[in-house]
Amino acid sequence: MKWTAEAESAIKKVPFFVRKRVRARVEKEAADRGKPMVSLADVKATQRRYLNNMESEVRGYQLDTCFGPNGCPRRAVQSDTLLPRIQALLEKEDLLGFLKKTVPGTLRFHHEFRISIADCPNGCSQPQIKDIGILGACVPRVTEEACSRCEACVDACRETAVALAEEDDSGPVIDRERCINCGRCIPVCPTETLATGQQGYRIQLGGKLGRHPRLGMELPGIFSEDDVLRVISGCLAFYKQRSRHGERFAELLSAADFDAYSDRGRFPESDGADPT
């Protein structure tokens, strides 16, 4: 649906963590009224209703993705099947029921558990500042196919992680310390010397903004879809055990808790599942 410039400008002022939800609601309500284009008045009307009924709008969790599923060419993985699986898990966990039992006073959006998926390391959906951030990863693999030394991979890599040895005609060398597994060097290779290796997800835990902001702490490794779901289950178990009065997962997760999970695959006092 098209938006007027004033409407676009107004929606940008809505707090980012509910902007997507409010935007979708504005479009739906405008369409229900038969409007061909969203106007400033439509945004204001929906926003007013939304904020006046905030408690009834809280659903217990926020799950969002980047624009990858809409056709972004930078995708390192296709997370299309992961998203509904996470959504089903969050529904099964009844986070809204949990918040209603534990939060004193009015439920607000900031109580919600936040998960974000980005289909590549660019992280356009800001997974680094969510309770759980999930980033697509595609590890380049050097094959036996002869390299033509065209340097397309060198030019494609923004991390200067791929180089060609100068003294001989061998293939590319990837600096795994610099490589962020974005996969961009793979499709540009005309000889298939570079091919797709492991594909999956990086996972970051405990990111948040607010009074004490922190970027999510990254678990070592690249995880499959099943692994991601197991890690989320473990995190939800930890959260439900520790959150007594509406504290967010990211507030509860200390560096020591993270280290314990990272080393042993379980939180100190929970039955958190093994992520591997």
Residues that bind ligand SF4 (CB under 6 A): 66-68, 72, 74-75, 118-120, 122-124, 140, 147-153, 156-157, 159, 161-162, 164, 171-172, 174, 179-185, 188-191, 193-194
Query: Least distance to ligand SF4 from the beta carbon of 77, Å?
Result: 9
Tokens (6 digits) for 208? 């948040």
Whose Cβ is closer to ligand SF4: residue 122's or residue 270's?
Answer: 122
Compute the chain's Rg from CA coordinates: 22
Residue 128 neighbours by CB under 8 Å, 6+ apart: 204, 207, 215, 216
Query: Least distance to ligand SF4 from the beta carbon of 245, Å?
Result: 34
Whose Cβ is closer to ligand SF4: residue 182's or residue 229's?
Answer: 182
Query: Least distance to ligand SF4 from the beta carbon of 171, Å?
Result: 6
| Core vs surface per residue 85-111: b (16+ CB within 10 A) or e | ebeebbeebebbebbeeebeeebebeb
Whose Cβ is closer to ligand SF4: residue 84's or residue 190's?
Answer: 190
Query: Least distance to ligand SF4 from the beta carbon of 114, Å?
Result: 16
User: Quick one: angle between helices 16-32 and 40-52, nearest 10?
Assistant: 120
251: nearest Cα among 162, 131, 152: 131
Whose Cβ is closer to ligand SF4: residue 181's or residue 243's?
Answer: 181
Query: Least distance to ligand SF4 from the beta carbon of 62, Å?
Result: 17
Query: Least distance to ligand SF4 from the beta carbon of 129, Å?
Result: 14
Whose Cβ is closer to ligand SF4: residue 24's or residue 67's?
Answer: 67
How far apart, in whole angstroms, are the C-alpha atoms of residue 261 and residue 146? 42
In a 13 Å sphere around the CA of 9, the CA atoms on its Cβ side amount to: 5
Whose Cβ is closer to ligand SF4: residue 147's or residue 237's?
Answer: 147
| Core vs surface per residue 245-254: b (16+ CB within 10 A) or e | eeebbbbbbe
